[in-house]
Amino acid sequence: MHALHLSATSSEEEFAGYVDAIAAAPGCRGRLLDLLREDHPVYDQRGGATVSRMRGWVLVALARGPVSDAALPFLLEELDTGVDPYLVAAAARALRSYPHPRPALAPFVMRALEQIRYRDDPVSFDEYGAYATSTSATGPVREILETLAWLGPHARGVLAKLQSVARSRGLAKQATAAADRALDAIHTAIGNESVDTDSCCELPRSVISACSWPRTDRRDANAIESLPFEDHDGTAVTFEAVFRGHPTIVVFFYTRCDNPLKCSLTVTKLARVQRLLAERGLADRIHTAAITYDPGFDSAKRLAAYGRDRAVRMDGRHRMLRATADVNALRAHFRLGVNFIESLVNRHRVEAYVLDAQGRLAASFERLLWDESAIVERAYELLTESTEDIHAAGPRADDRALPPRSDSPAVGVLASAGVAFFPKCAVCWATYVSMFGVAGLERIPFPAWLEPVLAIVMAINLAFAWLRGWATGRMHGPLLVSAGAAAILASRAAPAWERLGLSGVGLVLVGSMMCAVDSRRRGAERVLATHPGWIDRTRQKAGLRVTPVSLNRLAGSWNLAISCLTTSVRRSTRRRSAAGEAR
C-alpha cells in the first residue's frame, strides 16, 4: 500500500484497493483528503463518470471512521453543489461520522435534499463499482433524511422546509415514509434535548472556505505577466494589462459545465457582485473577470453570449476571458482545482479569487458557494493598499515602452525661460492667461463679447489651480490664485481700485508656482485613496495612471489652447484698432 504511487495510468481496481488500505490503516486516513483534490494526477484523462465513481468511493471510505474538520469542506461542498446521486449519497452518509453535529450543518443537508430529490437514483456502497440491487440499494434522498434525523435538535432551523417537502408530491412513497421518520426523530430529539446555541451554531474555522494572505506572503505574478488572453470582444490583452493597477475579483467557469450550481451560478453571482460594486460606487475602481477553464471551446462569441445571458456587465473593466496560450501556467499560478480529459473538464470545484493591485492573490473563496458581500468587502479592503502597490510595482509595460521624460513642472519652467521666455509649461500658460487676459482689458479695444470670454478663461485657470491643489493636498497655491482673481475682478469695479489688478497678477503668479511645486507621492496617494471616484474613472477611460504630474500637464494643455485663443483675439483686436487709428 505504501509503495503504490497513483497516477493517471493506475487502474480503478488499484485505486479502490489503495483507498480501502489507507482507510483501514491507523494514522493514514488523512491521505484520503489528498485524493479528493480535483487536480490530483489520478483523475487526469478520465471521464466524468469515472471520476465521480472514484471520488465517491473516497467519501464512502471517510464514512468508515471519524470525519475530521479538515474533511468537512469536501462533504459540505458535495451537499451544497452536488448533482450526482452517488456523490451526494456518499457525502450525506460520511457526514454522520462527523463527531460534532451542529445547527450550521443543517442548511447544507436541506439544500442537498431540495436539489437531489428529483434525481433519487439507487446506489450501492457494498463494494467499488457495485450495481444497486433490491437488498443493497440506498439513495441520496434516503441518506440525506437519515442525516437530518442524526442532526436531531440541531435540525430545528430547517424543520419547516422539511415538513413542506414531506407534504409535497416531490418524493417517492418510500422517501415520504423516510421523511416522516426523520420528522418524528427531530421532534422527539427537540423535546428531549436542549442545544447550546453559543457553541455549535457556527462551522469550525477550518471549514470556512475563504483564505486571505497578508501583503508580505502573496505570490507575485511575474511568471504570467505576459500571458496572453482574449476577451469577450475578441480583444487581445495580457495578464498584466488586465489585472495590474487595481484590485480584481476573478472567478473561473466554462460554458459546457452541466452542473447549474457551479459555473452558471458562479457567473450569475459575479453579476450580483458587479451590481454591489455599482451600488457602492466601486465599479470603476474594482474590476472583475471571469476566466474559462476551456479556452479551446469557449470562443469570444460564446463568452459574450454566456455572460449576456446571466446579466454580466462586460466592458474594459469587467471582462470574460480565455487564455490563448500556456494554460498550464495559469492553472499553476492560481492552483486551480480542475482536471481534464483532453480539453474537456472532468471535475472542478467552485473557486473565486481577489487579486491586489499587483495581480497577486490576496484572497480565495473555494468549494463552498461564496457570499457576494464578503468578496466585495475583501476587495474593498485592498483599495487602501492599491496606491502603494502601484508605486512599488514600478512602471507598467506600456509605460516602459515610452521614451524617458521629466516629471517635474519646474524643469518645464526653466526650459521655457531658456527659449526666449516662450511659455511651455502649465504654470506659464496659466499665468499668462490671467496677466494678459482680464488684467489688461482696459488697455485694448475689444468687442463687447470679449470681456466675458476672458473672464471665463480666468475661471478655467482658477479651476485647474484648485484641481492641482486638491490632488497634492497643498491648498496655499489655490487660495493665492483665488485671491489674485478676486483682486483682478475688483480692479474692474472702480477706478480707485485699479492698482489691485497688478497685485492680483502677482498673487496669481505666486499661487500658480506653488501649485506646480507638488509632491508626486503625496498627491497620488491623496487622490487615489481619499477621493478616488471620478478621477479614477477618468484614468480608466484614458488608459493612464493619474498622478499630480499628469494633472498638471492636463491643466497645461487646456490653458495652452485657451491662451492661444486669447492671444489670437487680442492680436486681432490690436490690428483692428491700429487700422482704425490710421484711417
How far from the centroid of its chain's Cα atoms is residue 190's Cα? 43
**Cα separation, 460 vs 471, whole angstroms:** 17
The answer to whether 429 and 423 have CB atoms below 8 angstroms apart is yes
pLDDT of residue 282: 95
pLDDT at 386: 54
Domain ranges of the chain: 12-207, 210-400, 409-582
Q: How far apart are CA 513 and CA 511, in angstroms?
A: 5
Fold of 210-400: Glutaredoxin (3.40.30)
d(CA 353, CA 360): 10
Q: Cell triple for residue 435?
A: 496677466
> Which 3 state secondary structure label does DSSP give 34?
helix
Q: What is the pLDDT, as a whole number, of residue 26? A: 84
Low-confidence ranges of the chain (pLDDT < 50): 1-3, 197-199, 389-390, 393-424, 426-427, 435-444, 518-571
Say what the pLDDT of residue 479 is: 85
By three-state DSSP, how is residue 320 classified?
A: strand
* pLDDT one-digit tens code per residue, 479-519: 888 888 888 777 777 767 767 777 777 787 787 777 665 43
Q: Whose grid coordinates read 451537499?
A: 79
The pLDDT of residue 472 is 60
Q: For residues 337 and 262, what is the distance between their CA atoms, to the nearest angstrom? A: 13
Give residue 1's pLDDT: 45
> What is residue 306's predicted lDDT score, i.e. its pLDDT?
98
User: 131 near 124, Cβ under 8 Å?
Assistant: yes
pLDDT tens, 397-456? 434 333 343 344 444 444 444 433 444 454 455 555 554 444 444 444 555 666 677 677
- Give residue 535's pLDDT: 43
pLDDT (0 to 100) of residue 547: 41
Q: Give the per-residue pLDDT at 190.
A: 85
